[in-house]
């Protein structure tokens, strides 16, 4: 298994963060410093971070959090702003799955499973995310809905077709499979309806439901199985990772 993937599977960091740890020279295998994230770790080799052995993988755990406005969706913030990780009192290191803008509210996942986090956010796996947007310049007419559904031209290219429902004269629900920066806000702006309030209400079939702002809950086994299915992971593969075996 590649060392960056090894670190992610053990909850040390997300896949990208693990690559940065390796590049920075903080990771060693059997005492030898490794700087190539593609370095293969063989069975029985001891991997260490900053000289401390990396523990065996914990069981995968996922929490659903209703992120309030004003909270950043990172593990830590150099500006001292409150982070989504601080909303939980959890003994293990947890990492946010993707990001929400500081002024966007709603569902965000935290996990110790770096591979699951990678698959939930990588565009290749096309995991759906649903957003509820209250917009300006209402009412939202059928023409704007058709544009959003077909895809709109943004500065970084045309968006993929989206599922769009009008919930009220000034509120729409948009489900996308991409993850561009501020995508839903830019899509709505492109069709003449700037977003006034944005909330993520679902990820891959897992819904926010009645979870109150700032609250969290552990994702139940059937829900976790559905997330694994959405990312082409099997529960058996997740179990193998938890026991430290190669997938």
Q: 135 - beta bridge partners?
A: 195
SS3 66: strand
> Taking the CA atoms of the chain, what radius of gyration do you get in angstroms?
20
Asked if residues 118 and 14 have their Cβ atoms less than 8 Å apart, the reply is yes
Catalytic residue among 36, 59, 101, 103: 101
Give catalytic status of residue 101 as yes or no. Answer: yes
Close Cβ partners of 100 (under 8 Å, ≥ 6 residues apart): 67, 73, 106, 108, 200
What angle, rounded to 10 degrees, do the helices at 183-190 and 142-150 form? 130
- Alpha carbons 187 and 185: distance in angstroms, whole number: 6
Close Cβ partners of 54 (under 8 Å, ≥ 6 residues apart): 6, 7, 10, 12, 47, 48
- Alpha carbons 158 and 151: distance in angstroms, whole number: 6
Q: Residue 243: which region, alpha, beta or left (left: phi > 0; alpha: psi -120 to 50)?
A: alpha
Distances (CA, A) of 3 to 73, 116, 147: 26, 16, 44
Show which residues are catalytic: 101
């Amino acid at each position: 298994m590649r060392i960056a993937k090894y670190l992610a599977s053990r909850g040390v960091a997300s896949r990208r963060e693990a690559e940065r740890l390796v590049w920075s020279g903080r990771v060693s295998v059997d005492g030898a410093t490794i700087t190539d994230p593609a370095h293969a770790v063989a069975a029985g080799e001891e991997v260490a971070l900053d000289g401390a052995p990396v523990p065996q993988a914990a069981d995968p755990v996922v929490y659903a959090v209703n992120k309030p406005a004003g909270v950043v969706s990172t593990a830590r913030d150099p500006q001292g702003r409150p982070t989504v990780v601080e909303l939980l009192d959890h003994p293990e290191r947890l990492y946010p799955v993707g990001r929400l803008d500081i002024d966007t509210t709603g569902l965000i996942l935290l996990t110790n499973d770096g591979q699951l986090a990678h698959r939930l956010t990588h565009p290749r796996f096309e995991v759906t995310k649903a957003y509820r947007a209250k917009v300006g310049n209402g009412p939202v007419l059928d023409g704007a809905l058709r544009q959003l559904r077909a895809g709109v031209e943004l500065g970084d290219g045309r968006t993929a077709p989206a599922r769009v429902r009008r919930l009220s004269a000034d509120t729409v629900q948009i489900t996308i499979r991409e993850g561009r920066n501020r995508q839903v806000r830019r899509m709505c702006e492109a069709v003449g309806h700037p977003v006034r309030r944005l909330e993520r209400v679902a990820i891959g079939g897992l819904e926010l439901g009645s979870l109150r702002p700032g609250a969290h809950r552990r994702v139940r086994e059937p829900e976790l199985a559905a997330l694994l299915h959405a990312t082409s992971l099997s529960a058996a593969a997740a179990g193998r990772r938890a026991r430290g075996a190669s997938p």
